[in-house]
Each structure stands twice: as C-alpha cells, then as structure tokens.
Amino acid sequence: MYRIDILIQGFPGKAVCHGGLGWSTIALLRSADRTILVDVGSFGMRKPLEKQLKAHGVAPGDVTDVVLTHAHYDHSVNFVLFDKATVWIGREELDWASAQPPGFNPLPELYVDALASESRVRRVASGEEFLPGITAIAAPGHTPGSLIFHLTANETPVIFTGDAAKNRAELLSRAVDASEDDAASTASIEAIWALWKAVPGTLLIPGHDLSMLLDEAGRPVYVGEREAGIRAWFSETLEDTSLINLNGKA
C-alpha cells in the first residue's frame, strides 16, 4: 500500500516562441519502507520540488527510489539530487537515449551519459514488477523505450503514463504531439485505455496534466484543480508584476 502525493502537477502546453515548457508531473509514493519519486522534473522545478518535499516531510536523502518514465530532460535530470536512491529506467530507453548524438531534441546528453554509467541505475524490462506492487509496461512512441507504471498495491490501481499519454486531449484523441513514432503512440494509448478501463476507479496520472478518473460514461474527468501561471516584469519595478493565468479558465 502506497500513499500517493502529486508534488508537481504537469501542465498540458508549450510556449509559443520558446519551445517546450517542460512542466511535467512529479509524484511521491510512500510505503512503510520505501520513498519513491516517479519522475523528478527539470532544473526550473528544483525550487518548487524542494519546497514540496519539505512540506511532505521528505529529505532528499530519504528517497529510496527514483523511477523514470523516459529519458527526456523534463522528467529525468534531477535524479542527481537523490544520491542515495536507486534509479530505475527502461533498458530499451537508456540504450536508445545513449546511442543518440547530441541533437535539437529534449534528451539531456550528459545526464543520459551519467544514467548509463552510474552503478545505482537499474534497467527495467517491460512486464517486470521492479518494486513491490509496481510493474513497468512498455509504451513506445513518444520515445522508443517509454514505460508506463501500473501500481496494483493499493485498493484501486494507479497508472503513471509519463509522456506516452501526456494529457487529456491525447487520451481522448488517441493522437499525440511530439512522438518518435505516431502509430506506436496510438497503440500505446489504446493499451493505456484498456488498462484504465479494466478496473473501475483506476487513477491515471499523466506526464503533463492533472490526474484523471473515468466517470460513469467512461469519460476522463480531472481530479483536483489546475494551478498554473506566469508572473512577468512588464513594468519598471520588481514589485509591479503582471500575472498571466494559465489555469485554463478566463
């Protein structure tokens, strides 16, 4: 049985002129003997992540396991902050990511090198229950070795989809933005749907959106409220800021 807290809520969007925001979900799972992070965010998230860990009474050294859905920078680079943790990533993902030359993509080349060489990094295969009650399942497309995680240790199951299904729009449309293989992505989303519908009450935690449940009609409904925005200095003083609301409401 795990207690699950969403430390950082993923956001379904990208900048107009500045590329991906990289605002991805970070989840904290705690059992009697494990403290697990599912994805660890990007550099910009270090301060809010530090604050959230503190608020939940977790010191970085308490984290026993860091579980990565895939190698992209916005999910992976902060593994270095949890030096006591075993780091879990898909074998195929790490083999693929470390074979890529530097490129204009979201792979953090030097962090991928570190993942490939550090002895505390463990490579996970699809179908493996690598932590008690947590099974990795291959969900290729977004990246060739993307994994989703099926947690069956709780009364109702939980699915962590990472970027195999980043947000509600991708789940509903079965089409994805930013995939290495569109057909594989669609097949992965169908597999996620099958798993989601298999047990009523299953919670889905995506890489870049609020958590979701299925309503009685089988439609995804959000759990909780979206909180997102930007504070900008468009004026002449540091005190006078403009708040740009990104919570999806007027």
**Part of the chain binding Zn ion (CB under 5 A), chosen from 14-22, 117-125, 156-164, 183-191:** 156-164
Q: Which of 72, 123, 150, 208 binds Zn ion (CB under 5 A)?
A: 72
Q: Please, which residues bridge with residue 8 across strands?
A: 26
Q: What is the closest distance, in whole angstroms, from the C-beta atom of residue 72 to Zn ion in the complex? A: 3
The tokens for 57 are: 């009474």
Q: Which is nearer to Zn ion, 53 or 139 (CB)?
A: 139
Site for Zn ion in 7-26 (CB under 5 A): none
Q: Which is nearer to Zn ion, 35 or 204 (CB)?
A: 204
Q: What is the closest distance, in whole angstroms, from the C-beta atom of residue 192 to Zn ion in the complex? A: 15
For the residues of 100-143, what is the DSSP string, one character each?
Answer: SPS-SSS--HHHHHHHHH-TTEEEE-TT-EEETTEEEEE--SSS
Q: Which is nearer to Zn ion, 140 or 157 (CB)?
A: 140
Number of residues that bind Zn ion (CB under 5 A): 2
Cα gap 39→146, rounded to integer Å: 12
Q: What is the closest distance, in whole angstroms, from the C-beta atom of residue 30 to Zn ion in the complex? A: 25
The tokens for 137 are: 């399942």
Locus of tokens 């958590």 = 211
182-204: burial string, b at 16+ Cβ within 10 Å, e else: eebbbebbebbbebbeeeeebbb
Q: Which of 92, 163, 170, 209 binds Zn ion (CB under 5 A)?
A: 163
For residue 140, the one-letter residue type is P
**Part of the chain binding Zn ion (CB under 5 A), chosen from 33-41, 53-61, 127-135, 158-166:** 158-166
**Which positions touch Zn ion (CB under 5 A)?**
72, 163
